[in-house]
Amino acid sequence: MNKRYLAAALGFPAALTSGTAAAETRLPPIIVTAPAQAGRVLPPQTVVTQDELVDRQPRSLADVLRGVAGVTVRANSRGETVARIRGAEERQTQVFLDGAPLAVPWDGRVDLGLLPAGLIGDVRITKGAAPIEYGTNTVAGVVDFQTRQSAQGSFAHAEAGSLGSGSASVVLAERIGAVEATLAAGGITRDAEPLAGPLPFSQASRSRRTNSDLDAASFFAALGTEQGDLRLRASVLHLAAERGIAPESDRPAEAGTRFWRYPDIALTQATLNLGLTLADHAEFRATAWHQDFSQRIAQYRSVSYAALRRTQDDDDSTTGGRIRLAHRLGPLDLRWAASAQSSTHRQVETDFPSGIAGPRLRYRQNLYSAGVEADAQLAQGIRATLGAAYDAVDNPLTGDKPRQPSLGAGAFSSALQFDLGSGAALTFSGGRRTRFPTARELFGEALGRFAINPDLRPEQAWLADVELRLTRTGFALTLNPFLIRSENTLAQRVVADGRRQRFNLSGATSFGIDARLAHDLTETLRLELSGTALSARADAGSAPIRRLPQRPSYEALAVLDWNVSGRFDLRAELRAIGKAIDLDAAGQRVELPAAAEIALRAAIPIARMGARDLVLTFAVDNLTDAQIFPQAGLPSPGRLWRIGLRFD
Do 319 and 340 meet the contact criterion of CB atoms below 8 Å apart?
Answer: no
Any bridge partners for residue 275, and if so which? 231, 285
Give pLDDT, residue 36.
Answer: 67
CA-CA-CA-CA dihedral for 494, 499, 505, 510, to nearest 10:
80
- Across the range 67-73, mean pLDDT stands at 93
Q: Which residue has the higher pLDDT, 255 or 577?
A: 577
Q: For every residue of 479-547, which 3-state class applies, written as one string?
A: EEEEEEEEECCEEEEECCCCCEEEEECCEEEEEEEEEEEEEECCCCEEEEEEEEEEEEEECCCCCCCCE
Give pLDDT, residue 445.
Answer: 87
Q: Which helix (H) or strand (E) holds 375?
A: strand 361-379
- Across the range 562-582, mean pLDDT stands at 96
Give pLDDT, residue 322.
Answer: 97
Please calculate the CA angle 543-545-546 and round it to the nearest 5 degrees: 80
Domain boundaries, the chain: 3-647
- Across the range 125-148, mean pLDDT stands at 93
Any bridge partners for residue 409, and if so which? 391
- pLDDT > 90 in the chain, percent: 79
Closest CA to 85 of 55, 129, 136: 129
Question: How far is 617 from 82, CA to CA, in rounded Å?
Answer: 26
Do 202 and 253 meet the contact criterion of CB atoms below 8 Å apart?
Answer: yes
Q: Which residue blocks in 414-458 are alpha helix, DSSP H?
A: 439-443
Question: How far is 370 from 338, CA to CA, in rounded Å?
Answer: 4
Give pLDDT, residue 31.
Answer: 60
Q: What is the pLDDT of residues 106-123, one digit of tens each?
A: 999 999 999 999 999 989
> Which CA distances in Å does 86 have to 37, 89, 108?
26, 9, 18
Q: What is the pLDDT of residues 603-618, one digit of tens each?
A: 999 998 887 899 999 9
Amino acid at 116: P
On the question of pLDDT at 15 being above 60, the answer is no
3-state SS, residue 613 = strand
> Which CA distances in Å does 56 have to 188, 390, 538?
17, 39, 36
Give pLDDT, residue 32.
Answer: 60
Question: How far is 83 from 95, CA to CA, in rounded Å?
Answer: 9
Can you give the C-alpha Rg of the chain in angstroms? 24
Reported as a pLDDT band with limits 50, 70 and 90, residue 29 is low
- pLDDT > 70 in the chain, percent: 95
Query: Is residue 353 reached through a cis peptide bond, with omega within 30 degrees of 0 on the bond before it?
Result: yes
Indicate left, alpha or beta for 250 from its phi (over 0: left) and psi (-120 to 50: alpha).
Answer: alpha
Question: How far is 317 from 344, CA to CA, in rounded Å?
Answer: 5
On the question of pLDDT at 221 being above 60, the answer is yes
Q: What is the pLDDT of residues 343-362, one digit of tens each?
A: 999 999 999 999 999 999 99
On the question of pLDDT at 7 being above 80, the answer is no
Question: How far is 177 from 175, CA to CA, in rounded Å?
Answer: 6
On the question of pLDDT at 3 being above 80, the answer is no
CA 633 to the chain's CA centroid: 23
- Across the range 118-147, mean pLDDT stands at 93
Q: For every residue of 89-103, which 3-state class applies, written as one string?
A: CHHHEEEEECCEECC
Query: Is the CATH code 2.40.170.20 the one for domain 3-647?
Result: yes
Q: Which residues 6+ apart lie within 8 Å of 112 measured at CB?
A: 60, 61, 62, 65, 73, 81, 82, 83, 95
Q: Indicate if the alpha-carbon torsion angle 198, 203, 204, 208 is positive or negative.
A: negative
Q: Which residue has the higher pLDDT, 31 or 562?
A: 562
Q: What is the pLDDT of residues 183-213, one digit of tens each?
A: 999 999 999 999 999 999 999 899 999 999 9
Quickly count: other Cβ atoms within 10 Å of residue 571's Cβ: 20
Please give the mean pLDDT across all residues of the chain. 91
Q: What is the pLDDT of residues 475-525, one digit of tens each?
A: 999 999 999 999 998 888 888 888 889 999 889 999 999 999 999 999 999
Give pLDDT, residue 20.
Answer: 34
Q: What is the pLDDT of residues 369-403, one digit of tens each?
A: 999 999 999 999 999 999 999 999 999 999 999 89
On the question of pLDDT at 8 being above 70, the answer is no
CA 644 to the chain's CA centroid: 25
Q: What is the pLDDT of residues 147-190, one digit of tens each?
A: 998 888 888 999 999 999 999 999 999 998 889 999 999 999 99
Closest CA to 168 of 617, 645, 648, 604: 645
Reported as a pLDDT band with limits 50, 70 and 90, residue 640 is very high
Closest CA to 69 of 504, 476, 612, 509: 476
In the chain, helix, strand, coil percent, each to 5? Answer: 5, 60, 35
On the question of pLDDT at 11 being above 60, the answer is no
Count of alpha carbons within 13 Å of 591, Cβ hemisphere only? 4
Q: Is 388 exposed, middle or buried (0-12, 13-18, 19+ CB in 10 A)?
A: middle
What does 138-173 look like in DSSP terms, one character per residue? Answer: -SSEEEEEEE--GGG--EEEEEEEGGG-EEEEEEEE
Q: What is the pLDDT of residues 282-336, one digit of tens each?
A: 999 999 999 999 999 999 999 999 999 999 999 999 999 999 999 999 999 999 9
3-state SS, residue 117 = helix
Give pLDDT, residue 281.
Answer: 83
Terminal Cα distance for the chain, rounded: 30
Q: Which residues 6+ apart lie within 8 Å of 329 measured at CB?
A: none
Do 640 and 57 meet the contact criterion of CB atoms below 8 Å apart?
Answer: no
Q: What is the pLDDT of residues 259-294, one digit of tens each?
A: 999 999 999 999 999 999 998 889 999 999 999 999
Taking the whole predicted model, whether its pTM rises above 0.85 is answered as yes
Do 267 and 282 meet the contact criterion of CB atoms below 8 Å apart?
Answer: no
On the question of pLDDT at 27 being above 60, the answer is no
